Copies of this chain bind each other. A is one copy, B any other.
Amino acid sequence: MSTQDTEISGKESLSRLLDRLGRMARGLQYCHGLNPAQWDSLRFVAQANRFSRTPGALAAFLGTTKGTASQTLNALEKKGYLSRVPDPDDKRVRHIELTEKGAELLAEDPLNCLDQAIGRLPDDMVDTMKEGLERLCINMQSRCGGQDMGICTTCGHFQGPTDAGNMRCGYKQADLSCEDAKRFCINFEAAQTGDC
């Protein structure tokens, strides 16, 4: 029987703290008749650009299967928080759009209180935590897969404003609205050095 008493000096281990905070956040998300997966999906739809507001991208983001994602979308659509509209170009694709009701609900995102709590921390502490968490994410990701997402303007596929003043995505070969360029994209790839 080996108790892992690694210098228990009252300081809680970092992994335990992350675990605890995660569970806390999870528990908060059983409210307004939704569950954590549904809140996650709703948030995703609100933050993703138009290329990424699809069931497949949602599944990749959540780290689940397309089947599961489809069911979660069914639940949310039934409740009136979003709708799925067919893509005119590719008839296999359906785009997910947040309804007004969905946007209203999102204003009461139970995780907002996490942001409030973060706002009470000193800025330099937040920066250090960001730096550390980012490195943890990258390290974990490399060893367990999973999809990362980023904003178009920092993406390797991003091509600056065109003559017409539009942003452009080199991967999708399509123009981006100013708004979309600031949203998350499932095709995100870290930019190369000095490229574009």
Contact = CB atoms under 8 A, between A and B. Distances in A.
Interface of A: 2-3, 5, 8-15, 17-28, 40, 62-64, 111, 113-115, 117-118, 120-121, 125-126, 128-137, 139-141, 143-144, 146, 150-151, 153-154, 179, 182, 191, 193
Contacts of A3: 179, 182
Given A10-B150, A11-B130, A18-B25, A113 B140 contact: yes
Nearest to A151: B10
B140 A10 contact: no
In the A-B complex, the 4 residue pairs with the closest CB atoms: A22-B22, A27-B63, A117-B139, A10-B154
Copies in the complex: 2
A25 B22 contact: yes
A136 B114 contact: yes
Given A15-B114, A40-B23, A132 B126 contact: yes
A192 to B, nearest CB: 9
